[in-house]
Structure 1
Amino acid sequence: MRAGPVTGPPFSLVIACGGRVGGFAPLRCAHSPQDIFPKKEPMQHWFGFGWDMDFGGQRRQGRRQSRSDKMQKHRIIIDTDPGQDDAVAILLALASPEEIEVLGITAVAGNVPLALTELNARKICELAGRPDIKVFAGCDRPLGRDLVTAEHVHGKTGLDGPVLPDPEMPLQTAHAVDFIIDTIRAEPAGSVTLCPLGPLTNIALAFEKAPDIVTRLREIVLMGGAYFEVGNITPAAEFNIYVDPQAARIVFGSGVKLTVMPLDVTHKALVTQARNDAFRALNTRVGEAVAQMTEFFERYDKEKYGSLGAPLHDPCVTAYLIRPDLFTGRHINVEIETRSELTLGMTVADWWRVSDRKPNAMFMGGVDADGFFALLTERLALL
């Protein structure tokens, strides 16, 4: 979901990984903040977006970045639950220093428990030759329900496929939520972008604990949700949103400028055999590791859906920061279902604007897959 252009200093990105907050039972997090704030309603700020759809129902194409936009380096926090596709997203960000500065990586419970997601994040930083990147552990469970994981997709470690050594770089002692809050407050207003690749627990908790940071963000670009493509963990819900629908409701209702990469996009970015061969043909440690990750990752999608390869969900987030022109979508209203037994975690996307609810997200629907994989292969070759 995209808002109108924001002028000012370069923005930063924070990536967070997978608790109950405002309106739910007390949150239990690893390294939890000492005080859990009082109950409050989700924030209802509204900002105009640069992407839109006219009232006749016609989609406007996404704007290419202006020259001044391209010159601004994205300063980001990556919030993640690695995951093979998370790993590739992190590698793409670290391979693109001209466009992206990673301020830190925050881990959340999701694909696997928190102890593994923070470990995996550090492994990937070292694989990329970037042990200087600070990694923080966040919430070890969702806000309002038990943790659901996806070892059946990602393997017991979350990074099954390549054998990566245990990291030597340390885990930071601060809680991920505090790092997110402190970073957004310390950086110039409108300069930081959050890039969640997993459940939105850390982000929602940060918004509830420090509501002032919402208006200081440049935007959030996240992977999650589905509409025409339906669910991948239930018939109605995509995994990241389903794991913590209460957190997703808080984030989608916050008024922050929001761009969403749903399954409708990511299922069009498939690692075919030829594309995986191109990773391996780089003849680098990173290229071989990525090829092994996707080979492991794709077995589930081939068996379950009969697809031609693994969908690279999370790298769509970082690719969008580098080449937004590769993606198309609509600025629409997206609400999160938090009560229904059948549709819990569904992203109710008003694609045709049949309701009177205000648009709150740029919901992507298309991707130039060849351009996406050309970018990814080119950048991985730099690591």
Structure 2
Amino acid sequence: MPHVKPRKIVIDTDPGIDDAIGILLALASPEFSIAGVTTVAGNIGIETTTRNAGRLLAFAGREDIPVFKGAAAPLLRPGPEPLNLHGKDGIGGVGLPAPARQPESRSAVEWLGALLLKEPAGTVDIFALGPLTNIARLVLDNPDAAKRIGRIIAMGGVIYEAGNVGPRSEFNLWADPEAADVVVSSGLPLVLVPLDVTRRVRATREFTATLSASGKPLASMVADLIESYFETSTHQESRPLHDPCVMLFALAPDLFRLEDLRLKVSTGSTEQAGALTVDESGTPVQVATGVDGSSALDLLARTLASF
């Protein structure tokens, strides 16, 4: 089989327990070459999300990957309160080392623009795991660079089901709906992985036990992270593994059902903020609307156990 060159990616993230799982999955995947990690406020404040990104990279021994601090607040409105389900440290209290490398002095958006202008057009993908503030700011401030993005794969939104912060709103888009509107309406190549899909990817305690038994450090850490993501000590199924679905889609798109939908983003009241509407006058977006959840979990386990 011919060697396939790893795809260059940037991970834009607000770690976050499920962000952490997604980052560790990307680190274990030879299909990806991670150019850098950009951080954004979301699950918790920017200082903590940035520190958590550095801690994850230190744990994995990947101090070669730079971290760039991004937006501390949404484009136009106050930021959300931190999500309690991720714990005070944003990462479930799981033991991680201190960052081995300080965040870079350049801002996330400045660095991302320079990277996209340096690399051949279409060769850098962005995996967006949090609010879309950094990407929106890039679109607004440096459109020539933004046009060179290969593809954005973003965890966000909900199409046919109920939201998780409002009747029709999902947290990442709700946290900065103006940014979501900028990115969705930009016409850039975009794949959305919404709650309709991520709610179908939940781990069992048997799954985490298998990861722990593998003896592989990244697999064991993911097992600990998922354990912190169960609702109670007796619950047999974890909360949805939202953000790893971005990496899983990039690794195995055949496990997902895609629909081409025309979408609009609500920038209205708090209750409706970030809600997606399918509308003929909206912008064409590829949306994952189905997934083989058990096969996705198998891929997660195999990738982590092979690293």
Judge same fold: TM > 0.5, yes or no. Answer: yes
**Residue among 69, 81, 88 paired with 2:21:** 88
Q: Secondary structure at the match of 2:152?
A: strand
- Answering whether residue 243 of structure 2 is matched by residue 319 of structure 1, we say no
1:275 corresponds in structure 2 to 207
1:366 corresponds in structure 2 to 290
1:207 corresponds in structure 2 to 139
Residue identity in the other structure for 1:370: S
Moved more, 252-261 or 212-221: 212-221
Deviation per residue, 1:107-147 (Å, 9 max, x gap):
00000100000100011112222111111101101111111
Where in structure 1 do 4 or more consecutive aligned residues deviate above 4 Å? none
C-alpha separation in 1, matches of 2:103 and 2:273: 34
- In the alignment, structure 2 segments of 5+ residues that lack a partner are none
**Residue among 198, 202, 227 paired with 2:159:** 227
- Answering whether residue 18 of structure 2 is matched by residue 75 of structure 1, we say no
Tell me if structure 1 keeps the 8 A contact 2:262–2:280.
no
1:240 corresponds in structure 2 to 172
Tell me if structure 1 keeps the 8 A contact 2:12–2:37.
yes
Q: 1:142/1:207 Cα in 2 relative to 1: closer, same or farther (>3 Å)? A: same
**Residue among 276, 282, 298 paired with 2:230:** 298
Question: Shift in Å at residue 223 of structure 1?
Answer: 0.3
C-alpha separation in 1, matches of 2:241 and 2:170: 14
Tell me if structure 2 keeps the 8 A contact 1:184–1:216.
yes
C-alpha separation in 2, matches of 1:193 and 1:149: 29
1:162 corresponds in structure 2 to 94
Residue identity in the other structure for 1:85: D
C-alpha separation in 2, matches of 1:362 and 1:80: 21
**Residue among 189, 192, 199 paired with 1:257:** 189
Q: Secondary structure at the match of 1:271?
A: coil
Question: Shift in Å at residue 319 of structure 1?
Answer: 1.2
C-alpha separation in 2, matches of 1:115 and 1:342: 27
Residue identity in the other structure for 1:77: V
Tell me if structure 2 keeps the 8 A contact 1:243–1:345.
yes
Question: Shift in Å at residue 310 of structure 1?
Answer: 2.0
C-alpha separation in 2, matches of 1:193 and 1:251: 14
1:124 corresponds in structure 2 to 56
Question: Shift in Å at residue 309 of structure 1?
Answer: 1.8
**Residue among 309, 314, 317 paired with 2:238:** 309
Question: Shift in Å at residue 345 of structure 1?
Answer: 1.3
1:64 corresponds in structure 2 to none
2:69 corresponds in structure 1 to 137
Q: Secondary structure at the match of 1:117?
A: helix
**Residue among 173, 182, 186 paired with 2:118:** 186
2:268 corresponds in structure 1 to 339
Tell me if structure 2 keeps the 8 A contact 1:161–1:292.
no
Tell me if structure 2 keeps the 8 A contact 1:257–1:360.
no
Tell me if structure 2 keeps the 8 A contact 1:272–1:310.
no
C-alpha separation in 1, matches of 2:121 and 2:87: 40
Question: Shift in Å at residue 73 of structure 1?
Answer: 2.6
Deviation per residue, 1:271-319 (Å, 9 max, x gap):
112211221111233223212211112217x99xx88322111111111
Question: Shift in Å at residue 100 of structure 1?
Answer: 0.8
- Answering whether residue 287 of structure 2 is matched by residue 381 of structure 1, we say no
1:35-46 alignment runs, 5 A limit: none
Q: 1:307/1:245 Cα in 2 relative to 1: closer, same or farther (>3 Å)? A: farther
Question: Shift in Å at residue 341 of structure 1?
Answer: 4.2
What TM-score results when the alignment is normalised by the length of structure 2? 0.94
Q: 1:72/1:287 Cα in 2 relative to 1: closer, same or farther (>3 Å)? A: closer
Q: Secondary structure at the match of 1:146?
A: coil
Tell me if structure 2 keeps the 8 A contact 1:230–1:236.
yes
Q: Which has the larger radius of gyration?
A: 1
Tell me if structure 1 keeps the 8 A contact 2:184–2:263.
yes
C-alpha separation in 1, matches of 2:114 and 2:39: 16
Q: Percent identity?
A: 37
C-alpha separation in 1, matches of 2:145 and 2:236: 41
- In the alignment, structure 1 segments of 5+ residues that lack a partner are 1-66
- State the number of aligned residues: 307
Tell me if structure 2 keeps the 8 A contact 1:138–1:175.
yes
Question: Shift in Å at residue 148 of structure 1?
Answer: 0.6
Tell me if structure 2 keeps the 8 A contact 1:108–1:139.
yes
Moved more, 212-221 or 176-185: 212-221
